[in-house]
Structure formats: C-alpha cells, structure tokens
Structure 1
C-alpha cells in the first residue's frame, strides 16, 4: 500500500504501514542487525544503537556518513536523521504479529522526494518478503512502478 503524504507544520510527512506475521523482536532484527540490514538496504548499517548514537550510510569508496539517532526505544522505536529529513521506524505488537510503521519527516519536497519514497516503499516490501522467508526478486522494476505512483502522490500532497 502506498504511503500517506501530508502537509505538516514544517514540511511534510510520509507514513508507510506494513503488517507482519512476526513478533516485534523478530522484525526489530531487520532494522538493527547489520547482517539483516544488508539484505534490504545495502548502504545502511547500525552503528551505536542508542539515542545519541548513529546509523551509518555508505556513500561509496571508504566514505561513510553518520546519521544521528534521535529517538531509540529497544524493540519499538528507531529514529535517525536522513540529512535534512528524518526516518522513524515504529513497531507495535498485534494479535498475529506486529505493525511496522515508517514515518519520513520531509523538510522540503524536491525532485528527489518521489525517488526516496519509492525506495522506502520497496525496502519495506523486501523486509516483509524476507521476514516471511520469500525472495523478493528484482527490485528495479518494482521501484520504477512505485516511483511513478509517488510522483503523483507528492504532487497531490503539495
């Protein structure tokens, strides 16, 4: 399902929701364990997992950008800077698994915004597939499809 994009006091928010059949503890590992992170977002790594700690983004070569963790509650909240924006993962238990919410706080809409949103959309779908033991398959075609949808969604939200 596509993210909801809304105007906020300072910019915009995009909210993605996924329901998983796994426990919050199992899904938390997909967000914080570097071996699992590498399977759905090759450039992102966990550094110091605590409020005030950091995530790390591999920019290429030997260049890593530190992304400050601004909120952290084990098994339920991981929020970190995403350059001028921020990314927040929230996990909550449900009767038959858990809900995974990703909220991107967007400082300003740019031409790159639909690309990022399509990327997060596909990343979440990959997490769901991997958590269920399924192979997601080629991601580029899926990303292209969602990119077109997010171009429309961002224009509608403006």
Structure 2
C-alpha cells in the first residue's frame, strides 16, 4: 500500500437518489492477488471472516454470517474477473473496481448508500479498516488493533455523515 493511503478518508457525496462513499487505495500488488482477497474464501476469512463467497458470477451470492446462526444473502450484481465485483449490502450496494497501474493496482470501493442511518458510519469505518487490512496482508505487515483503528475511523465517519445529512 502506498504511504498515506490508509489515512485517506472515503469521499462522501450526496447524490440525487442517496449517497456514495468512494474509497481509493493504490496497492503494489498484481490485480489477481487483490481479486483473490475479494473472492477466495481462504483469503476473505483473513480480513472479513463473516463474509463468504457462494457462487461467483452475475446473479450469484455472498453470505454474511450474522453471528447468531443466521446468514444474510447478498446478490452479486456485477462480476467481471479480475476487475469488477458488485453486490447488495443490505439496502445498499458495494462495488469493488480493480484497475491495473504500473507496478500495482488501484483498488476502488464504492458504496452506494440509499440513506444515512446510525449504522452508516459503522459500515464506512469497517470498510476503511478492511481495506487497510487487505493492504497490510498483501504487504506482509502485521497490523495493530483493528478495534482501536475502527473506533478512530468511526468517530471520523460519524462526523462526516452528520455533516452530509445537513
């Protein structure tokens, strides 16, 4: 991961039919390695253990372990290996775009948010930390406390979403 990327907050924007949050990371790794982090269950469990790919294709699904024995299914809306992965996320949509760069890959995560709720800053902080963890895993760097990192970003995104709602 390029220095400073993990400290870049998502760009939040009000849209005609909701909001978008755009996260960008430049990673010094091949697109295929990052694709595997997003789609291979052995890699997914390293950074998002609750998430599992079930059927990797348009119309396929991911499953989210709710931690209480139940699972939420999320439909895959866009699947172009190894460039685009898009799926439902509750009432929202999450889209990963992988663009080849000289010496690496640009990872863009776009969350299309239907409405700002109390849970929105939690998700945004979660995605922020997850992207940082992906970068550290690929770099072979041990990370610090995810919980502490999440708490710091939660406060940032809570303030940002409050401003956005005004």
Partner of 1:27: 34
Q: What is the DSSP-based 3-state SS (H/G/I as helix, E as strand, rest coil) of the residue aligned with 1:120?
A: helix
Indicate whether 1:70 and 2:80 are aligned: no
Q: What is the DSSP-based 3-state SS (H/G/I as helix, E as strand, rest coil) of the residue aligned with 1:108?
A: coil
Q: By how many angstroms is 1:60 displaced?
A: 2.0
CA 61–114 in structure 1, closer or farther in 2 if over 3 Å, else same: closer
Indicate whether 1:137 and 2:130 are aligned: no
Aligned length: 158
Q: What is the DSSP-based 3-state SS (H/G/I as helix, E as strand, rest coil) of the residue aligned with 2:49?
A: coil
Uncovered stretches (5+) of structure 2, i.e. residues with no partner: 1-7
Indicate whether 1:124 and 2:131 are aligned: yes
Uncovered stretches (5+) of structure 1, i.e. residues with no partner: none
RMSD: 0.9
CA–CA separation in structure 1 for the residues paired with 2:68 and 2:124: 25
Partner of 1:100: 107
Partner of 1:13: 20
The normalised TM-score by structure 2 is: 0.93
CA–CA separation in structure 2 for the residues paired with 1:9 and 1:16: 20
CA–CA separation in structure 2 for the residues paired with 1:16 and 1:84: 19
